Amino acid sequence: MGNPFDLSGRKAVVTGANTGIGQGIAVALARAGADVALVGRSTASDTQSLIEREGRKAIQIRADLSSIAPTGDVVAQAIDALGRIDILVNNAGIIRRADALDFSEEDWDAVVDTNLKVLFFLTQAVGRHMVGWASQSGERGKIVNIASMLTFQGGIRVPSYTASKSGVGGLTKLLANEWAAKGINVNAIAPGYIATNNTAALQADENRNRQIMERIPEGRWGDPADIGGAAVFLASRAADYVQGHILAVDGGWLAR
């Protein structure tokens, strides 16, 4: 069977791959051998360059994933450029912060639409494609959702984010239940505190940074490459018998 983590010849779609965790995942998949379609509203030229340095193919698909409108076109473009989709990583997401007593319907809808509704309908479109080739080839499609520590915890001042990421966890299990027998693995990763541009303010806040570090048994912030390694595992043959699992990559935060 060879190396079970080898993704040579596999074709992946990663949303929100322009920077941070999405970039770390896309580059890790490429290093394992996959070609990657980078989907998002912002340019992902840096990620594309990093992938091409690995000798893999990368294409950019510009799409605003705040609504389901572009999902069909995203899938069509990816198939046209790559031939088929073997791996889907649903990383794109947003967050809005306010006390629950003051939280607006606009912020609720924006977050739940992007983080949960669009994730489902994009996955549905890719799933229909995967079921078609999996039934003929005997190979397996791999779907990896990006959940959160707030899939397990409540958090504060992020009601729509907590609701959406809790929904991602439940949806991951439901799709695994429905699609396992159809040749598709559906799992999720719940990242801990990862050092990215999005968390720069937290890292720079001396008191908050100290509080975070004191709770993480590993004693450090995570790196996007830490999430990339988990994504390679879940996207590979090594995870063929892993279904409906939410893998916390958090340095031990949830165990504390």
- Give the residue carrying structure tokens 């229909």: 128
Q: Which residues of 55-70 are buried (b: 16+ CB within 10 A; e: fewer)?
A: ebbbbbbebebbebeb
Q: Is 193 a catalytic residue?
A: no
Contact 127, 184 (CB under 8 A): yes
Report CA-CA distances (Å) from 166 to 63, 133, 148: 25, 30, 8
Sort residue 155 into left (φ over 0), alpha (ψ -120 to 50) or beta.
Answer: left
Catalytic residue among 16, 25, 161, 190: 161
Q: DSSP character for 204? A: H
Sign of the CA dihedral with 250 first, then 56, 129, and 38 last: positive
Active-site residue numbers? 161
